[in-house]
A and B are shown apart, each in its own frame.
Chain A
């Protein structure tokens, strides 16, 4: 049986009296870009943390490449973690390491590699993420916001994962950099045949990159293709895709 790359079934997350997810389900297919959308406080980050195994849900099943992860021990999770790459919203680069060392860290952790090969492979990933070669020796504090995002992407790609999680990849970037980042994601997705799951608020990014979108409303998820989800009757979804900002966008683009 062929499993979806990522599958979430009936996820329940509760913090004290606050119910964040109540029976949330989604599935991500191979080679697609899946966007996760939702208002502030609807639990997008909690969902991502659950999928990454940083947080154990109260109930539900999460399968990555067919393997149930919610019941796994930490040791079993360790092996799963080598199979996906993650970028965090603020980059989460290790501030005391250079970009090159940041990219090498997953390699050191998971693969026994010659130092020379590791250097060159890390360099390859840095260039792949569109960073100039001299960025490799810089520390995160010396990088601009856009370069931090790219360095984080290079680190996420360190072990050539098939599955990539991006948390707000274009937040904090100017529109031009954001558009360039969209193109980079699309290029990598196509070239490396990646499956990309991204949390984003950027309507331009959603329309440019995503095949399907999952919207978190009322503690569960509405999943549909980007063409169909915009006509979903839910009020929040309508407001999201047809609100003032979305209108301004479509007027600008003449769509």
Chain B
């Protein structure tokens, strides 16, 4: 009893209208990869006025679980709408499998979203404030305990050479220091060129070009060399520390160290901190040298100042304290950078997303801490009149 209406349905369905309702012939491949067409074909069915839907599945070439699930959903909906559904021939086996799987454990779970709390706006903002205050306090406690822990480990380690792990320290001096020389030197050169160039433009109108030397020398030695070096190192090594320790956490390597009786703070954190404390001042000296060289070159070629005059002017402009004021900040910055990197790295838990997030936090915090500490130093030195 072929019906008059032509077949439609994306090559997935052949539809025949009878006086009772519909006959559906399933054809083609009902697979997950064809789900889009399948879904559209079924959704396009018009059941209006139908009392009976008869399904033939004999000509189906393939039916996988996704296809069977969609068929089952259609049958369920149709039956719920009060239309009878029957199979001509045996229903496909996959339907039974879907049925069994879904029945095996009660009803599907309700969507597990966050528990909605209905509070008044005033209460909610108060709760927000309170929660963040508590979280902040807890974080601060953790920060301090990390610093304390590193300090205790350091005190203990300095009593014996074996605990200090000189080989590990040397590796970190190499990784954070030696390999950073090219980029640090380049940046130091460029920054001194920028300062010299800009100040020369301004001072020329007063005929006071000689003070370009003062600006470059004092600027580079006191502030710029150490600050920019620290920022580069925070980006290079702070992130490396966080990522290294973080992936060790994810790999349970840190737990393995604990289990072996090795204190990870002694084996992982302290060598990095000490290594950077050694490397950063050395990098700063290099940056100082290159910065002064850059200033000299620019004065020579831009201002036509003889080199001897430049050297004399440098000697007049600075005292030994200018150099030391810059340099003594380096170990402090190194501790801040290394601590931020290691601390965030050790905090990584569970997922690679945490690793990325905490590495970012490590770098941002390291740079912030460096600049903040630099501001404190500036105030301190001014008060001390150095």
Contact = CB atoms under 8 A, between A and B. Distances in A.
A128 B32 CA distance: 16
A141 B355 CA distance: 14
Contacts of A117: 35, 39, 70
B33 A111 contact: yes
B351 A121 contact: no
Nearest to A113: B35
B162 interface: no
B102 A124 contact: yes
Contact of B109 (A136, A157, A159): A136
Interface string B350-373: 111110000000000000000000
Interface in B36-51: 36, 39
A98 B352 CA distance: 13
Nearest to B250: A95
Interface residues of A, number: 32
B101 interface: yes
A120 B36 CA distance: 15
Given A121-B69, A160-B64, A96 B101 contact: no
A107 interface: yes
Which of B32, B73, B108, B350 has the largest number of chain A CB atoms within 10 A? B32
A187 to B, nearest CB: 10
Q: Taking chain B's interface residues, is the majority helix, strand, or loop, or is none over half, making it mixed?
A: helix
A19 B39 CA distance: 50
Interface string A117-137: 100110111011000111011
B65 interface: yes
Interface string B21-63: 0000000000111011001000000000000000000000000
B66 interface: yes
A95 B352 contact: yes
B349 interface: yes
A134 B109 contact: yes
Contacts of B35: 111-113, 117
Nearest to A141: B350
Interface string A99-116: 000000001001111100
Give the 9 A-B CB pairs with smallest separation, nearest first.
A141-B350, A160-B64, A96-B353, A95-B351, A133-B109, A137-B112, A160-B32, A159-B32, A96-B351
Interface of A: 82, 94-96, 107, 110-114, 117, 120-121, 123-125, 127-128, 132-134, 136-137, 139-141, 157-160, 191-192
28 contacts: A82-B33, A94-B352, A95-B250, A96-B351, A96-B352, A96-B353, A96-B354, A111-B33, A111-B36, A113-B35, A117-B70, A121-B66, A124-B65, A124-B69, A124-B101, A124-B102, A125-B65, A127-B101, A132-B105, A133-B108, A133-B109, A134-B109, A136-B109, A160-B32, A160-B64, A160-B66, A160-B67, A191-B97
